[in-house]
Amino acid sequence: FKNFTQISERLSPEKLVEELNTCFRAFDHIVSQYNDIEKIKTIGDAYLCASGLVHHKTIPKNLVQAALEMQEFLDDHRQEKMKQGEPYFEARIGIHTGPVVAGVVGFKKFAYDIWGDTVNIAARMEENCEPGRVNISEATQGLVRYNFDCQSRGRFPVKNKGMMEMYYVRKR
């Protein structure tokens, strides 16, 4: 979420948790409608999910569609919050396609997680995204270009990767 710290300073702890719960429950509902998407975890103000963990050759079109639906929910929620004069969350969503390692590590408080360069690049796609948008890598765009209107953004510097081509997804 954009400006999470500043927004959290304006809300009571209870109201903050209520808002996060509202948004993350909506995201859970969206994700649950696609049998190839798995919610991995929430990390503070971030929501991490993945597709293709079971069927390794899946095309990420459901993941991109879910991301667009999440942004649509947040836009509707923002409009309600603005009418009430209350703060609202805006999100940046980044998606990349590639291999990951998934599993559980440690021996206390088990938590399923995913790791790898693909996860890091997805995080960089999010960092380079405008609020309210879905930013995808060239690898993802190549797989979903016939399903979505993707707008080339050009090449951007990505930490530890050099320049990478990025695309905004506009619609199905």
Identify the bridge partners of residue 114 per DSSP, sorted by sequence position. Answer: 102
> Which residues lie across from 162 on neighbouring strands?
158
The encoded tokens of residue 131 equal 């609020």
Placement of tokens 């890598």 in the chain: 137
Residues carrying an active site annotation: 124, 159
How many Å apart are CA 48 and CA 112, to the nearest integer? Answer: 12
CB atoms within 10 A of CB 81: 15
Task: Select from 87, 88, 86, 69 the least CA-distant residue to 30.
Answer: 69
DSSP state of 121: H
| Tokens matching residue 148 | 């979505």
Q: Is 119 exposed, middle or buried (0-12, 13-18, 19+ CB in 10 A)?
A: middle
